[in-house]
Amino acid sequence: MSEAPVLEAIDIVKELGSGAGKVRAVKGASLTLVPGELTLLMGPSGSGKTTLLSILGCILTPTSGVLRVAGTSTDRLSAEELAHLRRQHMGFIFQSYNLFPTLTALENVRIALDVRGQKGFAAANRAEEVLRDVGLAYRLKSYPGNLSGGEQQRVAVARAIASSPSIVLADEPTAALDGENGHAVMALLARIAKEQHRSVLAVTHDPRTLSYADRVVRIEDGRIVGEERRPEGLDAPEIADLTKRRKAHA
Ligand SMILES: Nc1ncnc2c1ncn2[C@@H]1O[C@H](COP(=O)(O)OP(=O)(O)OP(=O)(O)O)[C@@H](O)[C@H]1O
């Protein structure tokens, strides 16, 4: 039996701008996320990926459509209630890491726990535990400026998962990284989905990410136009070949 979704978006429409500049960035998109899966949202530039991700993350409110987070409909929630839902269930990862430059790796993770009301020794221990888990035990006291791009993104991943959210949303997490670091971050996100049973959604252009996905959702011109799922038992790298073959036959 399939698992209950942690996030459901049904027929989402989003208009941006106003007057003559009004753009329908998302035109009726539906998407469901379940625990334990890494889903990629892929599409050309301007297709609405970031807008849809912002709606799924309760950062933007949809013009119409229904969004349910852990069974709670976001319709009619106040900005404060939306922020609470976001803090309770979601972690975010950005292309440019968004770390505080004047805080150490450990402090950057601790502050994410602090805003969720987790303080003191328990929070410090938890921050250290997640940084160790992402392979940064030797970088706890380093400042972002002294870390490589890959290390900074791993701090950002640690920060996103420190409070054990059921949903992790990532916007172009590998775009600023070289090949090796891009693969390391995707392997980490895939492991988080599997081992920690979270639902991870990454918006990406990056074909290197394909081999880590359980599911690839395609968006074009504000609409979901297709979905591919990794067949049971298929090794990770083979999904990339499968996708290439499908495109060649399309
Ligand atoms: N604030 C805004 N006002 C008006 N139009 C906007 C605004 N933000 C985005 N758009 C338009 O909405 C559409 C979707 O943009 P969005 O950034 O979601 O696409 P994207 O797929 O994430 O693109 P990229 O891959 O280039 O980041 C585009 O046509 C964009 O120009």
CA 25–ligand 1 middle distance (angstroms) = 6
Please state, for a pLDDT cut of 90, what percent of the chain lies above it.
76
Decide whether any atom of ligand 1 lies within 6 Å of the 25 Cβ: yes
Which ligand 1 atom sits closest to the C-alpha of 43?
A: 21
Among 12, 26, 41, 51, name the best residue to mutate to test ligand 1's pocket (greatest count of ligand atoms within 8 A of Cβ).
51
Residue 245 has pLDDT above 60, yes or no: no
Non-local CB neighbours of 55 within 8 Å, separated by 6+ positions:
9, 12, 14, 26, 61, 62, 67
Strands 7-16 and 64-69: antiparallel
Task: Please list the helix, strand and coil fractions of the chain in percent, rounded to the nearest 5, in that order.
Answer: 40, 25, 35
Domains located in the chain, CATH noted:
7-229 (3.40.50.300)
ipTM above 0.85, yes or no: yes
Tokens encoding 181 = 């670091």
Decide whether any atom of ligand 1 lies within 6 Å of the 45 Cβ: yes
Assign 35 a pLDDT band (cuts: 50, 70, 90): very high
Decide whether any atom of ligand 1 lies within 6 Å of the 95 Cβ: no
pLDDT tens track for 106-140: 999 999 999 888 888 999 999 999 999 999 999 99
pLDDT tens track for 133-170: 999 999 999 999 999 999 999 999 999 999 999 999 99
Q: How far apart are CA 72 and CA 139, in angstroms?
A: 38
Phi, psi of 74 (to 5 degrees): -85, -10
pLDDT tens track for 195-242: 999 999 999 988 888 999 999 999 999 999 999 997 665 555 544 444
CA 118–ligand 1 middle distance (angstroms) = 35
Instruction: Report the candidate in 48, 53, 57 with the shortest Cα–Cα distance to residue 16.
Output: 48
Please, which residues bridge with residue 138 across strands?
none
Which pLDDT score is estimated for 115?
87
Q: What is the mean pLDDT of residues 177-192?
A: 90
pTM, two decimals, is 0.89
